[in-house]
Structure 1
Amino acid sequence: MSTDRPARYGKQLAAHLGRKVEASWSEETGRGEVAFRAGTATLVAEPGVLALAVEGEAADLAQLEDVVGRHLVRFGARDELVVEWQRDSGEPGLVHRHEGE
């Protein structure tokens, strides 16, 4: 996900989801992880991008992509964030963008 503030969004996502599931964020490394029942999400802040990866059973990938992507797009509505998933198989995953109120 392209953004000028990758660490901010990674930290915000981990803090928000951490209310319901186990989640962590390291300011030092710019890395975080969210542990869902269905799998995990890894967050890595890099210059100009928050790299996202979800792992779990194939049947659960769309659900994991949806939860992570939906929250990030909502947090970044003002920045018009777009979360576009690409699966290891090469097939496209979900695409999340703010659609307005």
Structure 2
Amino acid sequence: MPRSEARVATDRPARYAKQLAAHMGRKIDATFSEETGRGTLVFGAGTATLEAQPDALLLVVEGERENLPGLEDVVGRHLVRFGARDELVVAWHRDNGEAGLVHRNDDPEA
């Protein structure tokens, strides 16, 4: 299955993964385990996995090639909004070598 991943540098990866899963869980099937630091978001167009690492949050989206931009967008956009104060940057890299989307907070008021 085609995939794209982003490694988001942060000193609070579990906090952001938990927040993302809780927020997305209002509309889709979403889980996060504080014990393992791992979570899953299940969209109609594919899935996203969240993995809290010591200094980063690893995001992986999988779906049909044409669905990757939309999956990157929804996951990246929400995470950047939650992490506006920490100035999180989500830069996606697709498994076929293509550059994915890049999300950053460009709003000076955030």
TM range (shorter): over 0.9
Q: Which residues of structure 1 form unaligned runs of 5+? A: none
Give 3-state SS (helix, strand or coil) of 1:68's partner: helix
In 2, Cα distance between equivalents of 1:12 and 1:90:
30
Q: Among residues 40, 59, 63, which one is paired with 1:52 in the alignment?
A: 59
Give 3-state SS (helix, strand or coil) of 2:81's partner: helix
Amino acid at match of 1:84: A
In 2, Cα distance between equivalents of 1:28 and 1:77:
26
Q: CA RMSD in A?
A: 0.5
1:29 is aligned to 36
Provide runs of 4+ in structure 1 moved above 2 Å: none
2:3 is aligned to none
Higher normalized strand content (fraction of residues): 2
Give 3-state SS (helix, strand or coil) of 1:44's partner: strand
Shift of 1:67: 0.1
1:3 is aligned to 10
* Total equivalences in the alignment: 101
Higher relative contact order (CA 8 A, sep 6+): 2
In 1, Cα distance between equivalents of 2:99 and 2:78:
19
1:13 paired to 2:20: yes
Q: Percent identity?
A: 70
